[in-house]
Amino acid sequence: MAQKIRVTVWNEFRHERENEKVKAIYPEGIHEAIASHLRKEPDFEVRTATLDEPEHGLSQSVVDQTDVLFWWGHGHHQAVSDEVVNRLQKAVLEGMGLVALHSAHYSKIFKRLMGTTCALKWREAGDNERIWVVEPGHPIAEGLPEAIELEEEEMYGERFDIPEPDTLVFISWFKGGEVFRSGCCYHRGKGKIFYFRPGHETHPTYHNPDIARVLVNSARWAARVNGPKITWDRVEPLESLG
Amino acid sequence: MAQKIRVTVWNEFRHERENEKVKAIYPEGIHEAIASHLRKEPDFEVRTATLDEPEHGLSQSVVDQTDVLFWWGHGHHQAVSDEVVNRLQKAVLEGMGLVALHSAHYSKIFKRLMGTTCALKWREAGDNERIWVVEPGHPIAEGLPEAIELEEEEMYGERFDIPEPDTLVFISWFKGGEVFRSGCCYHRGKGKIFYFRPGHETHPTYHNPDIARVLVNSARWAARVNGPKITWDRVEPLESLG
Amino acid sequence: MAQKIRVTVWNEFRHERENEKVKAIYPEGIHEAIASHLRKEPDFEVRTATLDEPEHGLSQSVVDQTDVLFWWGHGHHQAVSDEVVNRLQKAVLEGMGLVALHSAHYSKIFKRLMGTTCALKWREAGDNERIWVVEPGHPIAEGLPEAIELEEEEMYGERFDIPEPDTLVFISWFKGGEVFRSGCCYHRGKGKIFYFRPGHETHPTYHNPDIARVLVNSARWAARVNGPKITWDRVEPLESLG
Amino acid sequence: MAQKIRVTVWNEFRHERENEKVKAIYPEGIHEAIASHLRKEPDFEVRTATLDEPEHGLSQSVVDQTDVLFWWGHGHHQAVSDEVVNRLQKAVLEGMGLVALHSAHYSKIFKRLMGTTCALKWREAGDNERIWVVEPGHPIAEGLPEAIELEEEEMYGERFDIPEPDTLVFISWFKGGEVFRSGCCYHRGKGKIFYFRPGHETHPTYHNPDIARVLVNSARWAARVNGPKITWDRVEPLESLG
């Protein structure tokens, strides 16, 4: 228990450099806004990585030292190399946690792990969003109110084309008439995946203290577990089948 | 496949006799409105039962001849005898389907089978309700649009204190700001349970053709399956454990 | 309900031509053994397809006319073209059922839809297998005994690296000391997937009447449902967000 | 995070006083064997309670100060008062964890929370048991081998009449031919429940270090989460429904 949880926060980091509105909200980048909350936890060790670094900042060595990977991507999913996606899929199946944020529903790594299109409905119209907690005993709900209120967010609506979550923690309500499964937990291989919906780049969502709480909780939930080493080979019977 | 699905529709049938507004909407009772849709299916055999009949119309013989039981109750859950509730629980665990409608969330039989309080938020204010399909390949979604629109309904809101459904088919949106898991599938024993949210007595919900379609689909889904006969006794080993 | 369920049974069909032992058990091929059971159902329309046909017998037109696809593959998963795999994945997500048999756990299409390695332990030693029903009210358990007994089968053992099934219907016991989740149900997109473990080519498993019953039941369970047509576009709000 | 996890270990504590064989294995009682492992964890605070104490050692005050309750009962389920069972059910639904051990499958509190018969097959014949990990990334699998080996145990076999677990962590293999879902996780209300199969009183199972590890892991997993306070009343809409 004394070991730290090693978190890597990944971000495309292009909107913030190209769009003045986004830059004004996240001057250091969305990854730094997310990392700033995680760094407050004494048991976390946090680093960041971005698309335009070599290997997108996700060399084998960085991945090997990551217990939970946060992923924020939006406009440049195709720019992520398949080599890195293969590396990440392997890492998740071997135990690395993945927290996929907002438009990461369309990232290569999330779609690869889900096996579905991950398509959804959407609208950029500043809908009011209420994120209702539907599983209040789940560790990701620790310290939250009954519903997280966001003044303005991009709308994502059902049908969200994902496998039914192992556990559904949040459902969002949008003023314009839609609902969305906003907090979805999955086991895949030895890894755990949490999809968390909010976080459009033109809204200050990652400055919200309840959202910060979810990020911290989800890192702790998704962190690597030192489970059994699995052997996949041909195996001998317990005793002669004679 | 040639055998008919034997459906029993149970209703308190008091509101419709005591309240003029309800009577105007359901002059023959809610059970007859529900049964009228089910009777159109050539493979269904439909009867009804109500609270004020002897044994609430649910004698052992009726229960034994029921493959799916629909349940609409609201104001008089405590008037249902424990003897009948015990009989129904046993029947469900032995394979009878149960479709629990609207305020049946607080019925003795539903709470008994769930093991939880089944509490929820509510508001009688004629909210507009949209029931979104979130599992479009499920047989209960057959023939439906993406969302069922109800002009006015009572609101039920999360947190709904139920076990996580085995499959979640519908999520409701309410104009006033709430969401609700509106279509919940469960296996319990050899029986199947479907909870379906809408159906407040002062709204003409059971005259809506999409709602009618859900009722028919859910009866077919919940119908008794002729699965293995289970033995619970002490058993002999396959061979000597020598 | 009058429409037939259109089933396509796919098989590598190489073992049966190359190996005398397999040929002796399945002289017409494993696909014909499977198809022979399905053809007895008056509501099924059955065709077959094999690896060495053009497009592996799975042209777009065949796939478009398939409600459930059975898949038996073992030694030649890599010989299946990615173009056909893409076509099948799209078809499943749009509603085609998939029944993946035995070593199809390592087929391209199954791994693609699961997102995991689908690895497992194995042993070819003629273990006695008992396939226990753990969800006896599930339609795939219709007409079965408590456990299906197979004299000799290849062993598959846990950890089976799959997403937790939406519903687990069977667990296998093997004499040599292993267990396996043998009957796994999934929703993916609008399609349904059933993985069913037994069926090694050197054992007469597909001639067993209980196994035949599972094949028939699973086709009926996985068959295409005419659910809502989903739109994925940007959507307008219900009314002005004012 | 600085707060300790308050664990109460409950045991019937009759076999150990009445049966010499059991007394020889568990001279201080099964509860003390279990508690001895939990007391090694610096973040746990452990007490015990037994059937023959006033209120079975489970006064309202004890329950209020319990974050996780372990339950071992076998021959005297009916001796537990309904008043205490009601108190425990309420406590679990409000957030207390419950770890139900072995024959606790038939305890009043477990059956109440499940809603099913919780029946199973059994045999006291010293079968060899192998408890396979099927979800190796789950926190309850931390530090375990691929399978826990027990030389001799009572056999429990499927069909186990429980709701499908939210997460299935272990499946047992028994030499005599049976399988069993041995590690079952549930959310109920704000509480979490873990059912763990082994632990017959005539075998030294609770002295096994892998079993001890599961007990510690499950206490940590099931511990109370400080989730949202839920209101169940009539609620006002977000704004006028006008």
CB-count exposure of residue B53 (10 Å: 0-12, 13-18, 19+): middle
Bridge partners of D122, per DSSP, are B234, D156
Taking the CA of residue A39 and the nearest CA in chain C, the distance in Å comes to 31
Nearest residue on chain A to B129, judged by CA atoms? A177
CB neighbours (10 Å) of residue B195?
26
Q: What is the mean pLDDT of residues A63-68?
A: 98
B133:A181 CB<8 A = no
Helix (H/G/I), strand (E/B), else coil: B194: strand
Q: How much is the pLDDT for C235?
A: 82
Nearest residue on chain D to B230, judged by CA atoms? D159
* pLDDT over threshold 70, residue C5: yes
B178:A132 CB<8 A = yes
Give the model confidence (pLDDT) of D38-82 as tens digits.
999 999 999 999 999 999 999 999 999 999 999 999 999 999 999
D177:B237 CB<8 A = yes
Question: Which H or E element spans position A143?
Answer: none
Q: How much is the pLDDT for C241?
A: 62
Q: B1 falls in which pLDDT band (50, 70, 90)?
A: very low
Residues B211 and D206: their CA atoms lie apart, in Å, by 54
> What is the percent of chain B with per-residue pLDDT over 90, rounded to a whole number?
94
Taking the CA of residue C201 and the nearest CA in chain B, the distance in Å comes to 26
Nearest residue on chain D to C128, judged by CA atoms? D177
Q: How much is the pLDDT for C97?
A: 98
Q: How much is the pLDDT for B241?
A: 59
Query: CA torsion B66→B69→B73→B79, rounded to 10°?
Result: 30
Taking the CA of residue B125 and the nearest CA in chain A, the distance in Å comes to 17
Q: What is the mean pLDDT of residues C55-63?
A: 98
A237:C176 CB<8 A = yes
Contact of A200 with chain D, judged by CB distance below 8 Å, is answered with no
The tokens describing C173, both together, are 């016991």
Q: Are the C-beta atoms of A68 and A34 separated by less than 8 Å?
A: no
Q: How much is the pLDDT for A236?
A: 84
Q: How much is the pLDDT for C1?
A: 47
Query: CA torsion D101→D107→D108→D110, rounded to 10°?
Result: 30
- Which residues in chain D show pLDDT less than 50? 1, 242
Q: Are the C-beta atoms of C13 and C52 separated by less than 8 Å?
A: yes
Q: How much is the pLDDT for C70?
A: 99
Helix (H/G/I), strand (E/B), else coil: A147: strand
Angle, helix C30-38 to helix C209-222, in steps of 10 degrees: 70
Q: Distances from the Cα of D211 to the Cαs of A40, D37, D53, D216, D217, in angstroms?
A: 36, 10, 27, 9, 10
Chains B, C: CB contacts within 8 A come to 82
Residue C22 is which amino acid? V
Contact of C179 with chain D, judged by CB distance below 8 Å, is answered with yes
Global confidence as pTM:
0.97
Chain D positions touching A137 (Cβ under 8 A) are: 95, 187, 189-192, 225, 227
The tokens describing A210, both together, are 């309840």
A171:B179 CB<8 A = yes
C227:B133 CB<8 A = yes
Residues D199 and D211: their CA atoms lie apart, in Å, by 9
Contact of B47 with chain D, judged by CB distance below 8 Å, is answered with no
Q: How much is the pLDDT for D236?
A: 84
CA angle A184, A189, A190 (to 5 degrees): 90
Q: Give the distance, in angstroms, between the CA of residue A107 and the centroid of all CA atoms in the same chain.
A: 11
Give the model confidence (pLDDT) of A214-231 as tens digits.
999 999 999 999 999 999
Q: How much is the pLDDT for C2?
A: 62
Q: Are the C-beta atoms of B83 and B138 separated by less than 8 Å?
A: no
Half-sphere exposure of D123 (CA within 13 A, CB side): 23
Residue the block writes with tokens 């590598």: C12
Q: Which of D130, D146, D164 sits opposite C168 (nearest CB)?
A: D164
Question: Which H or E element spans position D108?
Answer: helix D108-114
Residues D10 and D79: their CA atoms lie apart, in Å, by 14
Q: What is the ipTM of this complex?
A: 0.96
The tokens describing C155, both together, are 């062993």
Q: Are the C-beta atoms of D49 and D78 separated by less than 8 Å?
A: no
Among residues A164, A200, A186, A218, which one has the least CA distance to residue A37?
Answer: A218
Half-sphere exposure of D73 (CA within 13 A, CB side): 24
Chain A positions touching B136 (Cβ under 8 A) are: 159
CB-count exposure of residue C3 (10 Å: 0-12, 13-18, 19+): exposed
Chain C positions touching A233 (Cβ under 8 A) are: 121
Chain C positions touching B143 (Cβ under 8 A) are: 226-227
Residues within 8 A of C (CB atoms), B 55-74 only: none
> What is the percent of chain C with per-residue pLDDT over 70, rounded to a whole number?
98
D171:C158 CB<8 A = yes
Taking the CA of residue D215 and the nearest CA in chain C, the distance in Å comes to 21
Residues C188 and C97: their CA atoms lie apart, in Å, by 9
* pLDDT over threshold 70, residue C101: yes
Contact of C1 with chain B, judged by CB distance below 8 Å, is answered with yes
Among residues C10, C168, C4, which one has the least CA distance to residue C99?
Answer: C10
Chain D positions touching A191 (Cβ under 8 A) are: 137
End-to-end CA distance of chain D: 46
Give the model confidence (pLDDT) of A6-61 as tens digits.
999 999 999 999 999 999 999 999 999 999 999 999 999 999 999 999 999 999 99
Q: Which of D132, D135, D160 sits opposite C179 (nearest CB)?
A: D132
Contact of C151 with chain A, judged by CB distance below 8 Å, is answered with no
Q: How much is the pLDDT for D143?
A: 98
Residues D20 and B28: their CA atoms lie apart, in Å, by 68
Chain C positions touching D133 (Cβ under 8 A) are: 158-159
End-to-end CA distance of chain B: 46
- Cβ-Cβ contacts under 8 Å for B21 (sequence gap 6 or more): B202
Taking the CA of residue C154 and the nearest CA in chain A, the distance in Å comes to 11
Chain D positions touching A187 (Cβ under 8 A) are: 135, 137-138, 167
C170 backbone φψ class: left, alpha, beta (φ>0; ψ -120 to 50): beta
Nearest residue on chain C to B224, judged by CA atoms? C137
Q: Are the C-beta atoms of A173 and B173 separated by less than 8 Å?
A: yes
Chain C positions touching A230 (Cβ under 8 A) are: 119, 159, 161
Give the model confidence (pLDDT) of A89-109 as tens digits.
999 999 999 999 999 999 999
Residue of A158, A161, A167 best to disrupt the B interface, most CBs of B under 10 A:
A158
Q: A77 falls in which pLDDT band (50, 70, 90)?
A: very high
Q: Which chains touch A (3 or more CB pairs under 8 A)?
A: B, C, D
CB-count exposure of residue D78 (10 Å: 0-12, 13-18, 19+): exposed
Chains A, B: CB contacts within 8 A come to 58
Using the CB atoms, write b or e for B153-191: b if 16+ within 10 Å.
bbbbbbbbbbbbbbbbbbbbbbbbbbbbbbbbbbbbbbb
Give the model confidence (pLDDT) of A176-202 as tens digits.
999 999 999 999 999 999 999 999 999
Q: Are the C-beta atoms of D197 and D172 separated by less than 8 Å?
A: yes
Q: How much is the pLDDT for A234?
A: 82
Residue A119 is which amino acid? A
Question: Judging by DSSP bridges, how do beta strands B97-101 and B44-50 pair with one another?
Answer: unpaired
CB neighbours (10 Å) of residue B227?
23
Contact of B204 with chain D, judged by CB distance below 8 Å, is answered with no
Contact of B159 with chain A, judged by CB distance below 8 Å, is answered with yes
* pLDDT over threshold 70, residue C136: yes
Q: Distances from the Cα of C61 to the Cαs of A153, C58, C80, C95, D20, in angstroms?
A: 43, 8, 18, 15, 74
Q: Give the distance, in angstroms, between the CA of residue C130 and the centroid of all CA atoms in the same chain.
A: 19
Name the CATH superfamily, with its identifier, for domain C5-222: Class I glutamine amidotransferase (GATase) domain (3.40.50.880)
Q: How much is the pLDDT for D1?
A: 47
Residue of C131, C134, C161 best to disrupt the D interface, most CBs of D under 10 A:
C134
The structural domains of chain C, with segments of one domain joined by +, span 5-222
The tokens describing A204, both together, are 């200050």
Q: C234 falls in which pLDDT band (50, 70, 90)?
A: confident
Q: What is the mean pLDDT of residues C98-105?
A: 98
Residues C145 and B228: their CA atoms lie apart, in Å, by 5
Among residues C170, C82, C172, which one has the least CA distance to residue C127?
Answer: C172
Q: Which CATH architecture fits D5-115+183-222?
A: 3-Layer(aba) Sandwich (3.40)
The tokens describing A126, both together, are 């500043």
Q: How much is the pLDDT for A242?
A: 47
For chain C, give the secondary structure using H, E and C. Answer: CCCCEEEEEEECCCHHHHCHHHHHHCCCCHHHHHHHHHCCCCCEEEEEEECCCHHHHCCHHHHHCCCEEEEECCCCHHHCCHHHHHHHHHHHHCCCEEEEEHHHHHCHHHHHHHCCCCCCEEEEEEEEEEEEECCCCCHHHCCCCCEEEEEEEEEEECCCCCCCCCEEEEEEEECCCCEEEEEEEEEECCEEEEEECCCCCCCCHHHCHHHHHHHHHHHHHHCCCCCCCCCCCECCCCCCCC
Q: How much is the pLDDT for C236?
A: 84
Chain A positions touching C231 (Cβ under 8 A) are: 121
Residues A228 and A188: their CA atoms lie apart, in Å, by 15
Using the CB atoms, write b or e for D164-202: b if 16+ within 10 Å.
bbbbbbbbbbbbbbbbbbbbbbbbbbbbbbbbbbbbbbb
Among residues B34, A242, D155, which one has the least CA distance to residue C132?
Answer: D155
D49 backbone φψ class: left, alpha, beta (φ>0; ψ -120 to 50): beta
Residues A183 and A132: their CA atoms lie apart, in Å, by 10
Chain B positions touching D93 (Cβ under 8 A) are: 116-117, 161
Taking the CA of residue B117 and the nearest CA in chain D, the distance in Å comes to 8
Q: Which of B134, B159, B173 sits opposite A177 (nearest CB)?
A: B173
Fold of A5-112+181-222: Rossmann fold (3.40.50)
Q: Are the C-beta atoms of C188 and C139 separated by less than 8 Å?
A: no
Instruction: Report DSSP state, residue D112.
Output: H
Residues C22 and C30: their CA atoms lie apart, in Å, by 9
Among residues A22, A2, A20, which one has the least CA distance to residue A12?
Answer: A22
CB neighbours (10 Å) of residue A137?
25
Chain B positions touching C231 (Cβ under 8 A) are: 146
Residue the block writes with tokens 């973040």: D43
Residues within 8 A of D (CB atoms), B 211-230 only: 228, 230
The tokens describing A163, both together, are 């496998």
